[in-house]
Structure 1
């Protein structure tokens, strides 16, 4: 108890330091616990979105369990024994609850094989017409239909005749009317069945999920009341062969990630039972394929989150170490005295362990809840330091979050114990010797650890570059958004090592400044230069901390901006314009033939050569597209993929693009500096001659084409047209010049160089010419309409106008919607959210660390400032000393941080190209810097330094000379 009270008194005495340490621990725990919370939240959102997309794309309800079993030739059983179907009904009813989702709808269906129908009264029905149908019973059918004509069937046979519902399609197909009676006679039946349709029905709601699996065979069914079918046909085993169907519709919007395993296992259990009881069965559950992918998605997202958090985790660890070191420095004399009086190192360390446990316990209580709030920030991020009003994610604390929090507390407390362990090794004599030798090199600089880590980070950089070069050269797929943790760890190591290396050089720079102006420096500057030059080790912690904060912030900003911008540019380039659509073209193509020809026609056709008739298209008016709501510009763009280019005797496949140069230049999107000249210059060049064409560099390299050459373009069925090469281009809107291959396609080549040659020989090719020239000399075929929208126009306004003007659209691609979807991608959200969060945390702890260090530093130098004031140094000169000291330390650290961060961004951010598919990354990956991000950083640092100077000046103004001198005498 005495030890506990002593620890509490010591913590109260150093309350500001302890509070700073606690803040660092809380942020560490919050950051660690936010990762599983965010992973769960974003995957939960993505799960529901994926299932909604599945429903839209496939027109199937994702969480619909649809099963059927085929009963064949059951053995002879006693009357009323239908145990198998009864057991299956009960089993599936029970298992449907095991999915853990609300059941929106359930139904059972019994159906027979198709039987031939014989008219009971041939005088009323044409007996020559062959008729066949099946008897079916569906549970709760009455609740999902409306009677169009007739009356509802009786619940019992009427004079031995079973009455039935039918759909109107059956009456048309069988050529009968209501009231016609039929007899089913079959050797496999135990009895003769008479059937009569008495009601024509239709679905009461066409969107009703009840009918999802019964639309194709409605015209072949007589529907008998379910209870009657069960009583008269099932229990008596009237039919030797029978189909049984079960349909359960579950509410997938209530599906949780925690229930995925249960959902999949329940589906497997049902399938096993069906397999063991039926000779033939089917089980459909569209969601299963999507759900099975989520284990792998979770692993990838978790890896990415850890990778993204590497820099800020290192920064937090460094902050904790720095604060713990400051606490230990203030207690080193006390520790040395305890050691000299017989206290063991274990006894001293126990006190620090208890202190760490107290602070860690508080952090464990508060941190996860802060992590919960931080996760909301991640979900609201729309870009780096950009937030939007997005639907809130479903976040909650779970067991895994607390596990991460415990690990974070243990690791953080261990980090804070390192300075105490080192301090307990010194005796009182060793401590006094250390105080007298403050100018000695640090351990890192003594062992050249900075040089070693810097060399390792540069070596790994070269390794990454070799890997990236292979991927780009061969067009291999690096797997979509596959993130290597080293992509974030190595830059963090480089920043740390680069900062330490520049701090190794820093004392020499101070010494040089001192020597240059030694004869002219005023006394207060002379004193400052001596103070900084002789105590560089003392300033290294705060300087390295500022360097890492600033450099990490710059790197994070650049990485996030680069990844966001490259994803955006990839979408814009691939589409070519804001909206790309194709309207319906009238043509004279014959309708598709169904069935086979007669024998005579077939033999006649076989003797005649097959001549493919060229389809004639009628071009719809283009003017209405230019007059749509919100349209700034529109262009006609014709693309023919299976075309040919001939140069002399050499011919090869190519893509032909026909454009109107003026419209295309005002409509298409193209990133600057992709071409040797601006795209408008190429369009102006093309406009000078109707026969002029631009060719891709791949054509020039492989076929030897050059400017001025005459080439011929054509496609199947066309005579072609002669053109003149006016220019050579590397890129063009919507055209991908990269070879698209997989790793396996080049695996058989003996060397990488041979693979590269093969890829180069198969590179895509493009010819750009005048649309009018192509139409006049070859053919008029459907083209796309590219539209550029006004900045303030939404896509919805354009859609509404298209519907209002009744313009038939065959296909439409919306770039804006693609950009919105990309920003909602979980991996993109992770990049933006975690980078933003890491940046804000880094700035916050940097501000706390900066103020803490300088306040403590000033408090430790009160005697020095008091003596200087007593010697006649004015208050203004003291402020000048502090400003100079800040400039030489914090200012130098900011400058070094800028250099380090910019260098790390230029060296390592291009490596993020490895996270994308290299074959589809067009335009090329480009490092992006947003000046606003840098200004944010600089303003924050200036405010931080300004507040620090204000506090230090305030503290200085309150120093009383006689108290400072008296304190020194004591």
Structure 2
């Protein structure tokens, strides 16, 4: 108890330092606990979104659990009717075990298809072969409407089963209501008479009840379900039949916590059917989606940990710095205790209890703060950009507290390091240390900076070699997943670079002192001596500020770069805001259901089969697209994938693109700097000659073609046309020039041996009008550029109002929205934004804390200087110079280091993308606003520091300072 009270008194005495330490611990716990919370929340959102997209794109309900089994007279050791009853009960039980609300359930029975013989042949066409099956569905009457006739009786009427049929059956069998049919088969122990008495249709075509029941409606005669069960499945009347169980679950209520239960239930159903039935099928669309989430969860966790490495190191450094400040103020007390017999264990136990106490408070507060941080992550739409997005399903779980506990343990261990070092010193050693503040730090003694720089440069070279192999071979970088070293190595480089520059910092101060030692005024002379002789004293705050700013710049550049490259990749791939194609009229014959069969006695002409008639197309009007509301410009873009170009005797397969140069230039998106000259200059070359073409560099390199050569272009089934090469290009809107890996390349081959085995894409750009007049008129795409404030939905409504039929459409803006909602992109933007804000926040706290404590410890010095005649203005000048020489230098080093790290390491982030589709090339981006934010924060930070220090100096009284020094 006495030890506990002593610790409390010590904490109260250093309350501002302890509070700063507590803030660091709380942020550490919040950051650690936010990772499992965010991972769960974003995967939960992604799961539901993926299922919703599946429903939209495939028109398949994700919550559908459909099972189909074929039951014969005897199952695997069981009678068919008993097995069917057991299966009904089993499916009803398993449907509840999925753990989701059941929106709808249905059972459908149907017999095999039997021949149908008219009971009265005189009333029907005897030449028609008729067949059908008797079927029944639970709750069918609630989902149909009566079109004609009367509903069937619940029991046979005079031995005849009355049935409901869809109109398709009457048409196929060529019968009318009331035509009685007889089923006679050796598989039945009796003949069955059945008569359609009602024509029915679906009451609601959007009703989920009909998901798996709309096929073969032209062959099913429906009778009441209870009647079917009584006369066909029970009481010894069992016949071979098919049974369908369909359950529609509310997939919006699906939780990740129930993933294992859901998959286990599905596996149990499959195992049951496999053990009891010879023939069965199961369908559960959700399973396929859920099976990929284990891998996605692992990748997302690795990404989050990797993204948080820089800010985690920064927090660790902050905690170490604050703990070191606390220990520095107590070193005399520790040395006295050691000299009076206290053991190191006893002293350290006090610090451990202090850490446990603060850690317990942080563990209570941190996870709730982490919950709020998760919401910030979910609202990020870019770096330092937030939107009103649908809130994520965030909640605290045991894993969040586990992560928080680990963070507390690591943080407390970090804060104990200064205490462990301090307990090794005696009172004599402590006084010697105070007199030798200019000695090298431990990190510099062991050359930690040089070692870490070497490791960073080696890792950088390794990344560049790997990236070169990916580009040369055309490999998919996504197979490599997320490499955590992409985030760890830059943090090590920043730390090592800061240490290295601090190694030469004393020499720079000495050089400045030497250059102007004859001219420096007294207060600058004193400042230079103070900084030069106590360089080690300032290293913590300088390294802290430098790492903060460098990490902030690197995070900003990495996030901006990844966002910009993803956006540019989508813009480039599509080429314009909207790319669509309409249906063209043509004389193409309707598609045939099977291979052509020559009639008997006819001849087959091989020449006619090998040279079919070329399809003639009618070009639809283009003007309506240019008149759509919100369309700034429109362009016709024709692309033929299997065209050819002949240069001399050398012919190459290539993609032929036909454009109207003026419209294309106004509509297409293209990044500056990708070509030797501006994009418009190449379009101007085309405009001067109708026969002018541009070719890709791959064609020029493989054929030796050059500007001015006459070539021949065309494709199969058309007569080629001559053209003149006017330019050679490396990139073009929507065209991917990256090599494609061929099947002949071995996985173990190196880049140099594989270059000859990759297929370099080829492109020809010409005039659309020349292609249509000289070659053929074939369907083309329409590219649209929208006005800045125009929405895609407004364009869709305009297309619908003008009844413009669209067969294919790509919306760049919607693709960008989906990309921003990708969980990995959300993680990058959210975590880096959060890391940037945390870095700035703790930098501000650490800066003010350090300088206030530093000033408090130098009150005697300032008092003596004031007594010697130094004016208040000169003291402020001393502090300003000291700030510029320390904090200002740290800011400068941080800016240089951050930009250097960004230039060196941010390009490596393209390893996380598919190198074969990363077009245009990866480019490091810097947003001036981010640097402006940092500059403003630094100015405010130093300004407030000077204001507080100046205020404290103005309140110092000389006699009190001297008296304090004597005490």
User: TM-score with structure 2 length normalisation?
Assistant: 0.98
Alignment of 1:188-207 (within 5 A): 188-207=187-206
1:768 maps to what in 2?
Answer: 765
Is residue 741–residue 757 contact of structure 2 (8 Å, CA) maintained in 1?
no
1:24 maps to what in 2?
Answer: 24
Is residue 72–residue 80 contact of structure 2 (8 Å, CA) maintained in 1?
no
Is 1:879 the counterpart of 2:876 in the alignment?
Answer: yes
Is residue 115–residue 134 contact of structure 1 (8 Å, CA) maintained in 2?
yes
Quote the offset at 1:608 in angstroms.
5.7
Is 1:900 the counterpart of 2:897 in the alignment?
Answer: yes
Quote the offset at 1:593 in angstroms.
2.2
SS in 1 for 2:906: helix
Query: In 2 relative to 1, CA 239–185 (structure 1 residues): closer, same or farther, beyond 3 Å?
Result: farther
1:83 maps to what in 2?
Answer: 82
SS in 1 for 2:681: helix
1:519 maps to what in 2?
Answer: 518
Cα distance in 2 for residues equivalent to 1:679 and 1:851: 52
Alignment of 1:165-184 (within 5 A): 165-184=164-183
1:530 maps to what in 2?
Answer: 529
Quote the offset at 1:605 in angstroms.
2.4
Is 1:252 the counterpart of 2:251 in the alignment?
Answer: yes
SS in 1 for 2:287: helix
Is residue 707–residue 728 contact of structure 1 (8 Å, CA) maintained in 2?
yes
Quote the offset at 1:87 in angstroms.
1.1
Cα distance in 1 for residues equivalent to 2:763 and 2:319: 58
1:738 maps to what in 2?
Answer: 738
Deviations 1:489-521 (A, max 9, x none): 000000000001001111111111111111111
1:859 maps to what in 2?
Answer: 856
Quote the offset at 1:757 in angstroms.
2.6
Is residue 481–residue 827 contact of structure 1 (8 Å, CA) maintained in 2?
no
Cα distance in 2 for residues equivalent to 1:684 and 1:129: 69
Is 1:667 the counterpart of 2:674 in the alignment?
Answer: no
Alignment of 1:52-451 (within 5 A): 52-74=52-74, 82-451=81-450
SS in 1 for 2:145: strand
Quote the offset at 1:594 in angstroms.
2.8
2:720 maps to what in 1?
Answer: 720
Cα distance in 1 for residues equivalent to 2:177 and 2:682: 74
1:777 maps to what in 2?
Answer: 774
2:933 maps to what in 1?
Answer: 936
1:501 maps to what in 2?
Answer: 500
Quote the offset at 1:607 in angstroms.
5.8
- Point out the more displaced range, 24-33 or 237-246: 237-246
Query: In 2 relative to 1, CA 748–570 (structure 1 residues): closer, same or farther, beyond 3 Å?
Result: closer
Cα distance in 2 for residues equivalent to 1:66 and 1:361: 51
1:836 maps to what in 2?
Answer: 833
2:631 maps to what in 1?
Answer: 631
1:921 maps to what in 2?
Answer: 918
SS in 2 for 1:281: strand
Cα distance in 2 for residues equivalent to 1:748 and 1:838: 39
SS in 2 for 1:104: strand
Quote the offset at 1:579 in angstroms.
0.8
Quote the offset at 1:602 in angstroms.
8.2
Unaligned residue ranges in structure 1 (runs of 5+): none
SS in 2 for 1:638: strand
Quote the offset at 1:455 in angstroms.
1.0
Cα distance in 2 for residues equivalent to 1:480 and 1:866: 66
Deviations 1:769-817 (A, max 9, x none): 1111111111111111111111111111111111111111111111111
Which runs of structure 1 show a deviation greater than 6 angstroms over 4 or more consecutive aligned residues? 75-78
Is residue 739–residue 916 contact of structure 2 (8 Å, CA) maintained in 1?
yes
Query: In 2 relative to 1, CA 381–77 (structure 1 residues): closer, same or farther, beyond 3 Å?
Result: closer
SS in 1 for 2:478: coil
Is 1:965 the counterpart of 2:962 in the alignment?
Answer: yes
Quote the offset at 1:123 in angstroms.
3.1
Is residue 307–residue 486 contact of structure 1 (8 Å, CA) maintained in 2?
yes
Deviations 1:562-582 (A, max 9, x none): 000000000000011111111
SS in 2 for 1:636: strand
SS in 2 for 1:46: helix
Cα distance in 2 for residues equivalent to 1:75 and 1:880: 98
2:823 maps to what in 1?
Answer: 826
User: TM-score with structure 1 length normalisation?
Assistant: 0.98
Alignment of 1:36-47 (within 5 A): 36-47=36-47
Quote the offset at 1:379 in angstroms.
0.5
Deviations 1:818-838 (A, max 9, x none): 111110011110000000000
- Point out the more displaced range, 471-480 or 504-513: 471-480
Query: In 2 relative to 1, CA 166–716 (structure 1 residues): closer, same or farther, beyond 3 Å?
Result: same
SS in 2 for 1:746: coil
Query: In 2 relative to 1, CA 596–342 (structure 1 residues): closer, same or farther, beyond 3 Å?
Result: closer
Query: In 2 relative to 1, CA 463–717 (structure 1 residues): closer, same or farther, beyond 3 Å?
Result: same
Is residue 62–residue 252 contact of structure 1 (8 Å, CA) maintained in 2?
yes
Quote the offset at 1:309 in angstroms.
0.4
Report the count of equivalent residues: 966
Cα distance in 1 for residues equivalent to 2:738 and 2:480: 19
Query: In 2 relative to 1, CA 405–323 (structure 1 residues): closer, same or farther, beyond 3 Å?
Result: same
Is residue 112–residue 239 contact of structure 1 (8 Å, CA) maintained in 2?
no
Cα distance in 2 for residues equivalent to 1:393 and 1:745: 47
Query: In 2 relative to 1, CA 659–597 (structure 1 residues): closer, same or farther, beyond 3 Å?
Result: closer
Unaligned residue ranges in structure 2 (runs of 5+): none
Quote the offset at 1:76 in angstroms.
13
Is residue 740–residue 920 contact of structure 1 (8 Å, CA) maintained in 2?
no
Is 1:561 the counterpart of 2:568 in the alignment?
Answer: no
User: Over aligned residues, Cα RMSD in angstroms?
Assistant: 1.5
Cα distance in 2 for residues equivalent to 1:250 and 1:466: 50
Cα distance in 2 for residues equivalent to 1:916 and 1:607: 50
Is residue 189–residue 239 contact of structure 1 (8 Å, CA) maintained in 2?
no
Quote the offset at 1:240 in angstroms.
3.5
Cα distance in 1 for residues equivalent to 2:482 and 2:750: 27
Is residue 585–residue 620 contact of structure 1 (8 Å, CA) maintained in 2?
yes
Quote the offset at 1:130 in angstroms.
2.0
Deviations 1:230-258 (A, max 9, x none): 11111134343111111101010000011
Is residue 480–residue 916 contact of structure 1 (8 Å, CA) maintained in 2?
no
- Point out the more displaced range, 227-236 or 532-541: 227-236
2:645 maps to what in 1?
Answer: 645
Cα distance in 1 for residues equivalent to 2:11 and 2:383: 39
Alignment of 1:437-476 (within 5 A): 437-476=436-475
Is residue 118–residue 127 contact of structure 1 (8 Å, CA) maintained in 2?
no
SS in 2 for 1:568: helix
SS in 1 for 2:289: helix
Deviations 1:684-741 (A, max 9, x none): 1111111111111111111101111111101001111111111111100000000122
SS in 2 for 1:62: coil
Cα distance in 2 for residues equivalent to 1:452 and 1:21: 30
Cα distance in 1 for residues equivalent to 2:130 and 2:211: 26
Is residue 165–residue 222 contact of structure 2 (8 Å, CA) maintained in 1?
yes
Deviations 1:188-241 (A, max 9, x none): 212221111111111111111111111111110110101111111111343431
2:7 maps to what in 1?
Answer: 7
Is residue 80–residue 238 contact of structure 2 (8 Å, CA) maintained in 1?
no
2:690 maps to what in 1?
Answer: 690
- Point out the more displaced range, 169-178 or 118-127: 118-127
Is residue 81–residue 235 contact of structure 1 (8 Å, CA) maintained in 2?
no
Cα distance in 2 for residues equivalent to 1:643 and 1:134: 52
Deviations 1:146-182 (A, max 9, x none): 1111111111111111111111111111111111212
